[in-house]
Amino acid sequence: MSDEVTAAEKWDRRFFELSHLVASWSEDRGRKVGAVIVGPANDIRAIGFNGLPRRVDAELEVRHARENGEKYYWFEHAERNAIYNAARSGIGTEGCRMYTNLFPCADCTRGIIQSGIVELNTFAAPEADEVFKRSFEVARVMLSEAGVNLRVFPPDFI
């Protein structure tokens, strides 16, 4: 086995590093998620992080409450934000790849499939997350049935 890193692996690392950087911009106080949409020529098409919609006040404390589920009404996920950002700018996502620093939920997976993304690069779903456990299970099934290439990387990849 060679210690040599392939060009493809270098790109994977770069895009995962970018997803982590973008995640740091999140307004969510509990979970930072970033997504990067990449074209066939390794061109960055769009990025997204989890946060409230544009022009919606993120400073109101009640909108951050996970315990009672309130935050789920207010926050958009990184994966869909990346898709929306591409659409808003008139940038196509058909045939693209997505890199995320967290496994996507079922809602985001539907967006990934519907936007024509053909490959998802991510990390394993957090096993301790009871809120999204079923959603992660459904996401895996949808990705498989839709033929989206799912590449799950070990946590220490970057």
Closest CA to 121 of 28, 26, 15: 15
Strand, coil or helix: what is 90? coil
Distance CA 82, CA 100 (A): 10
Residue 23 exposure: Cα atoms within 13 Å on the Cβ side:
17
Report the catalytic residues: 79
- Burial level of 24, CB count in 10 A (0-12/13-18/19+)? exposed
CB 81 within 8 A of CB 48: yes
